[in-house]
Structure 1
Amino acid sequence: MTTEDYFNPVELEKRETDYSNPHLFCRNLVIHTPGRPIKSFRNVKVALIGVDNFLTSSSVGSTNAPDLIRTELYELYKIKMPGGMRIADLGNLKTGHSSRDVYYALRDVLLHLYEHGILSIVFGASEDIAYASLLCHEAMKQTFNFTTVQRRLAFTGGTPDEPTPENYLDFFLSSPYLFFYANIAQQACFVSSDQMDYLESHGHDSLRLGSIRYNTFRAEPYLRDAHVAGFDINAVKHADAPGQVHVSPNGLLAEDFCQLTRYAGMSAGIKTIFLTGYYPPADMQGTTARLAAQAIWYLLDGMTVYREEQPGKKKHHIQQYIIHHKMLDYDFVFYKSQSTGRWWVEVPVTGGKENLLIACSEEDYHAVCNEEIPGRWWKIHQKMNG
């Protein structure tokens, strides 16, 4: 794949910023520019993908969102990526004649990048663009975990014909390739009891906004175990991100949103990340474009502090804890990294198979110590042994 096959090159309007400054983010990139497509992905570990396809209930069209985000991103200071890793800006995906054209074109790109071990960061479109990652995993016939950060739960429980920002999760939740889904930061006033019952009955999970308000680290295990993650700007309160279609006075703080993207960057398993929901016509001062750019920056910053940790193998900084649960008559096996403070727990699998190791929190450890059963552990246990 060459970038000119699928992408329009990066062409930004000139600003006062001196892009020749060697310390700027844009000096850290391999960029697809006019007449200079990217033909080799050697040493590339991250691909930036702009998608200018914003779908609303009444229309679909261009908002120039990717370039507005890109302009702000380029003006931040560069990140020193470890091990000679390179970041490539592929440009903006060619949109075709319909949203379906966009989904399938992006699917092809994601497949190529996935096969080469490259993390894809897709930005600028509406939330339904994540459907392309489902098409990608279906093409590979590979199960995956999906975590979103959204104010609402974007599913109806029905069988819609086409994905929209309001129903795209219906396609994920009905797919046999989705193993575990979780949403972070939903607000109870925007979520129906039927939606919550559906997640519970199908072994999925969610974290309310209030549960992470003063401790975003509670959400970290859900991002660490994800293969695909979707970050919706609409999860942020209006005062911090006015560039939204459906604004709300409540929501995540801008710094918490960036902290969550940083957790995603620290994950070894995530292969595709979506940053969606930015609506420029409502962003008069460019505040939301700056937030989106900073969210990408902190995501990449998370990659610089990533440390490969494999509990179960002899490592001095990994501590094992075995807790006997009297009610279940089962020994829970927890692991804690003394370096990062992250936790894991084993989930038993019947049939003589090796136990499954999942990310968890210190709260899960204390729950077991108090003879409680961690909800996420139980749901995954049921999926593996049901």
Structure 2
Amino acid sequence: MNFNFLSPVSDAVLAHNELLSMQALGRKIKIHSSKKGVPDLEGVQIAIIGVLENRNDINYIGEEFQLNEIRKTFYSLFPGSWNTNIADIGDINKGESVEDTYFALKTTIAILIKKSIIPIIIGGTQDLTYPNYRAYDTIMPMVNIVNVDCKFDLGDSTKPIKNDSFVGKIILDQPYNLFNYATVGYQTYFNSQEEKDLMDSLYFESYRLGEISKDITIVEPVMRDANIVSIDLSSLKGSEVSLNQKLSPNGLNGKEICAIARYAGISNKVSSFGIYEYKPSKDDDMTSMLISQMLWYFIEGVNYRVKDDNFTNDANYQKFITLVEDQELVFYKSNKTGRWWIEIPFLTEINNKLKRHTLLPCMHQDYLDACNNIVPERWYKAFQKNCI
């Protein structure tokens, strides 16, 4: 297996790890070291990769960074009652060009996903979501991305890719593999009206910070349908993070971002997970601890995944049919987990790539709304995309 792009975890972190309790996470995971090389990934379900690339930051002034503090903090946490094998396979350093880094990340992610290993990417700038997306080109025909961010990151796709415009490239660059893009936690004043209009015209989903703070559970169905989850640390409230990381007095708090990470982990479809826009500072303890706890909750979620969307056996589910505005809506509820889905009707005369998107995750509230003659918004957007 070709992992030539990866450099080992630093000796300073490994020395710190040796001082930890034998019960700590750092003593229970496989680690890429200069002495032993890349660990054997047989039986590993999750692989952590650092990516030290930040040159496409719109504010880049040549600064370097490393992920040692995050690793030290993460290694020092204690695992839950997990049976998930984890490896830290080290860092992808900056290439000669940003495109070289992209190629290294895309190749590494593709290798891991084909081996049924979930990569956790810690960056660097959020434009690294683009090579993460491109890694799926040879793996699956259509991809769903969830971006936890205060901004949509659509940007001007005619200009070179930056950390605030990578989604425009994902939408317009061939091959066209993006089915759905959802932004979780956006703040209206950080986004232009043109970007909001574009999100609506493409039937993409967006969830305002206020909606999520009011009811965090609305994130769960979106995550259940995601393949790639990308978290921008600028979505966090300034009081939750260290000095260089602060962006806004408003944002997600630590409890909310950890719940979102756990929802991503529980989703059976999420096959890559990234945390981006890490900017170390002298008082870095708060940010590295929060990132470590986000990783912990994501892994906790993966450990408790339940396969509950097999609707071939009548004993596994209950089926509910409602009529809304002359449209028959069909809901399914899993008997195992109580999770809900809604059926998207096929338009058989249209040749599209949606063969696996017949069932859309939803909430119990969507069913109650349908009973009151209200069309669920997720269903409406998915149905419209089906018509395009």
Q: Give the TM-score of the pair, scaled to structure 1.
A: 0.92
Conservation of the 8 A alpha-carbon contact between 2:51 and 2:124 = yes
Distance 1:6 1:193 in 2: 41
Q: Secondary structure at the match of 1:275?
A: strand
Cα distance change of structure 1 residues 243 and 149 upon mapping to structure 2, 3 Å threshold: farther
Distance 1:212 1:383 in 2: 24
Residue 354 of structure 1 deviates from its aligned partner by 8.3
Distance 2:383 2:62 in 1: 42
Cα distance change of structure 1 residues 22 and 208 upon mapping to structure 2, 3 Å threshold: same
Conservation of the 8 A alpha-carbon contact between 1:237 and 1:252 = yes
Conservation of the 8 A alpha-carbon contact between 1:79 and 1:300 = no
The one-letter code sitting in structure 1 at the alignment partner of 2:223 is L
Conservation of the 8 A alpha-carbon contact between 1:244 and 1:277 = no
Distance 2:301 2:314 in 1: 22
2:374 aligns to what? 372
2:352 aligns to what? none
Unaligned segments of structure 1, at least 5 residues: none
Residue 310 of structure 1 deviates from its aligned partner by 1.6
1:345 aligns to what? 342
Residue 13 of structure 1 deviates from its aligned partner by 2.5
Residues 184-333 of structure 1 mapped to structure 2, 5 A cutoff: 184-245=184-245, 247-281=247-281, 284-314=283-313, 316=315, 318-325=317-324, 327=325, 329-333=326-330
Distance 1:25 1:355 in 2: 37
Distance 1:17 1:206 in 2: 41
Cα distance change of structure 1 residues 354 and 12 upon mapping to structure 2, 3 Å threshold: closer
Which deviates more from structure 2 when the two are superposed, residues 346-355 or residues 225-234?
Answer: 346-355
Cα distance change of structure 1 residues 207 and 234 upon mapping to structure 2, 3 Å threshold: same
Cα distance change of structure 1 residues 49 and 252 upon mapping to structure 2, 3 Å threshold: same
Residue 245 of structure 1 deviates from its aligned partner by 4.9
2:364 aligns to what? 362
Q: Secondary structure at the match of 1:13?
A: helix
Q: Deviations over 1:21-64 (max 9, x none)?
A: 22101122111111212353211111100112224323354211
Distance 2:16 2:156 in 1: 49
Cα distance change of structure 1 residues 203 and 246 upon mapping to structure 2, 3 Å threshold: same
The one-letter code sitting in structure 1 at the alignment partner of 2:319 is Q
Distance 1:284 1:173 in 2: 38
Residues 94-109 of structure 1 mapped to structure 2, 5 A cutoff: 94-109=93-108
2:6 aligns to what? 7
**Superposed CA RMSD:** 2.1
Distance 1:136 1:17 in 2: 32
Distance 2:2 2:18 in 1: 29
1:50 aligns to what? 50
Q: Deviations over 1:185-230 (max 9, x none)?
A: 0011111211111011011110000001031110111111011110
Conservation of the 8 A alpha-carbon contact between 1:241 and 1:254 = no
Q: Secondary structure at the match of 1:137?
A: coil
Distance 1:267 1:169 in 2: 22
Unaligned segments of structure 2, at least 5 residues: 350-354
Indicate whether 1:382 and 2:380 are aligned: no
Conservation of the 8 A alpha-carbon contact between 1:10 and 1:32 = yes
Residue 182 of structure 1 deviates from its aligned partner by 0.4
Distance 1:142 1:89 in 2: 29
Q: Deviations over 1:46-95 (max 9, x none)?
A: 1100112224323354211x22211110000024433xx42111001132
Q: Which of 161, 167, 170 is the matching residue for 1:169?
A: 167
Distance 1:80 1:61 in 2: 40
Q: Which of 333, 336, 340 is the matching residue for 2:333?
A: 336
Distance 2:38 2:18 in 1: 24
Cα distance change of structure 1 residues 191 and 354 upon mapping to structure 2, 3 Å threshold: closer
Percent identity, aligned pairs only, is: 27
Q: Give the TM-score of the pair, scaled to structure 2.
A: 0.91
Cα distance change of structure 1 residues 307 and 244 upon mapping to structure 2, 3 Å threshold: farther
Cα distance change of structure 1 residues 166 and 24 upon mapping to structure 2, 3 Å threshold: same
Which deviates more from structure 2 when the two are superposed, residues 167-176 or residues 257-266?
Answer: 167-176
Q: Deviations over 1:128-154 (max 9, x none)?
A: 111111221235473200001001111
